[in-house]
Chains A and B, each alone.
Chain A
Amino acid sequence: MSGETTRQELFQYVIRLGDNALINGQRLAEWCGRGPFVEEDIAMTNIALDLVGRARMLLTYAGEVEGAGRTEDDLAYFRNEREFRNFQIMELPVGDFAFTTARQFFVDAYDYFYYRALQHSVDSTLAGIAAKTLKECEYHLRHSAEWMLRLGDGTEQSHAKISTAVAELMPFTYELFDADGIDRAMQANQIGVDLNTVEALWNEKVNNVLDEATLERPELKYTRSGGRQGLHSEHIGYLLAEMQSLQRAMPGQDW
């Protein structure tokens, strides 16, 4: 493998992580000022802030790896739909509190096991980011897992709502473990993580929490995937149009 291929692959690998954090943070931030009560509003905003912070570190690093002088903002604001590499689950519209809870739970569990493994990356920058991120992930997972229990084992109404959300989101979790060549190459050179291990841990955690929450894990009748290759749901375009509007309207300025 030539140095240039590795660099391109590493860039792709890092940008996927960065985009996942950014798009998830962007969606979660929509709750700001609209939470079910002020304490939870603060908690959700806090998590969104962690995600944006994580995206900044990762996109900055992606720019460095690429070596073309692109900053975090160049990458966040001047790429198009097909260039974003986040999982589709991140870009789905914010939905109700049950939908947000289920999405965060699936993603938080993934991030927790993923970054726990990534701490041992031979890439010291990624290992450092992972170590810092892991502390947040632990808190995020605790927060969303507890809400899964409260909603699942709360009232009939909450049980129905969270069941619907789980059923809607489950097909999108397939993609989290749908490794491609870049994942395999990065795992082989010990920069990336072993997605099979992450998947096993994730399944165990998800099954335990669903079980305790008195929720069924739905059978997958269909799956969604493609974010890694920039193949998204129709929602991504609207999200980017909103997020990038000002930079696109007045490009080349300091803000």
Chain B
Amino acid sequence: MTDSTTLPEIFQGRIDSEEKIEPRDWMPDAYRKTLIRQISQHAHSEIVGQLPEGNWITRAPSLRRKAILLAKVQDEAGHGLYLYSAAETLGISREQMLEQLHSGKAKYSSIFNYPTLTWADIGAIGWLVDSAAIINQIPLCRCSYGPYARAMVRICKEESFHQRQGYELLMTLCQGSEEQKAMAQDAINRWWWPSVMMFGPGDANSTHSAQSMQWKIKRNSNDELRQKFVDQAVPQAEYLGLTLPDPDLKWNEARGHYDFGEIDWDEFYQVVGGNGPCNHERISARIKAHEDGAWVREAALAYADKQRQRARKAAA
């Protein structure tokens, strides 16, 4: 390291040579801010994501399904925790992140602003939403920021069963009665497009993409990942005997990919902007949990404090 090398050069040099950036390293302010925004948004998505699935735990139609769903929702809370933990290495506290979530300043994945109306929705979330999440998350395992990359490795390892349980759930419905199959089809009709939208705006309209690519926070473009998702989902839907609600969906031999219809970006921006079917309910539920828990956290701290004082007195 010679004196003529500047801190930004060292930083970008590390990234270019695929070295990780670690918490105490110098980093540009914008890099730190981008990561805080992205990681906390990701953490909030896991935590808010507990709600639509949690909605069916008490009504799961078999004890096996109840246990699976509990395990899955618990995993999601755990993933939220890993991610909050990664974000905290960047100098933001859990409390600050929660304030941002509750005030609406911080976003979370819009997919969780749709309601889970029937049991089949649990299958649709597992299959479509978790598939989309995995496609988004795998490249993040190689993200340039060490703590985020390590959290993602752990998360991806644990998530592998989520998608399979969703698909298995739908398979059971599709092999069942007409009523069950109709329930599955209805769920796919409602969850398909929101899942396709999970990859964010098209590349032409994506505000943060270029810089994030240069910093290796992001490795693939939104449209690239979206295409991968569609290509993967079509044969899986065929196997289930379900129809994806897109008349324009067809194999394009020349591209070697499936073509698909135009996304309703109005809906996307409405939901991102707070006007989705459950935005208000989700945030209210989170605020209520946090506020109802305040006295519990205070009690735990007060008790820990008393214990410390007692120990000090005993030692004196």
Contact = CB atoms under 8 A, between A and B. Distances in A.
A/B: CB atoms within 8 Å of each other: yes
Interface of A: 22, 26, 29-30, 32-42, 45-46, 48-49, 52-53, 55-56, 59, 72-73, 76-77, 96-97, 149-151, 153-155, 157-158, 161, 242-243, 245-247, 250, 253-255
B65 A255 contact: yes
B303 interface: yes
B172 A97 contact: no
B78 A254 contact: no
Given A247-B61, A250-B177, A32 B54 contact: yes
A56 B67 contact: yes
B119 interface: yes
A38 B74 contact: no
Nearest to A98: B296
B73 A155 contact: no
Interface in B176-195: 176-177, 179-180
Contacts of B176: 253-254
A214 to B, nearest CB: 10
Contacts of B298: 154-155, 157-158
B58 A26 contact: yes
B191 to A, nearest CB: 19
Interface stretch (B16-24, B251-259, B285-293): B285-293
Contact of A97 (B59, B81, B179, B292): B292
Interface residues of B, number: 49
Nearest to B177: A253
Interface in B268-316: 285, 288-290, 292-304, 306
A73 B299 CA distance: 40
Contacts of B234: none
Say whether chain A's binding surface is mostly helix, strand, loop, or mixed: helix
Contacts of A250: 177, 179-180
Given A33-B285, A38-B47, A38-B84, A49 B295 contact: no
B249 interface: no
A97 B293 contact: yes
B297 A38 contact: no
A246 B293 contact: no
B66 interface: yes
A168 B142 CA distance: 53
Given A32-B54, A97-B293, A242-B58, 7 more contacts: A33-B51, A33-B73, A42-B74, A154-B298, A154-B303, A246-B61, A255-B173
B71 interface: yes
Contacts of A158: 295-296, 298-299, 302
Contacts of B297: 36-37
B80 interface: yes
B2 interface: no
Given A41-B77, A48-B70, A153 B57 contact: no
Given A36-B293, A38-B81, A155-B298, A255 B62 contact: yes
A55 B172 CA distance: 23
A28 to B, nearest CB: 10
Contact of B63 (A33, A40, A48, A76): A76
Nearest to A161: B295
B57 A29 contact: yes
B172 A42 contact: no
Nearest to A96: B292
Contact of A34 (B179, B180, B289, B301): B289
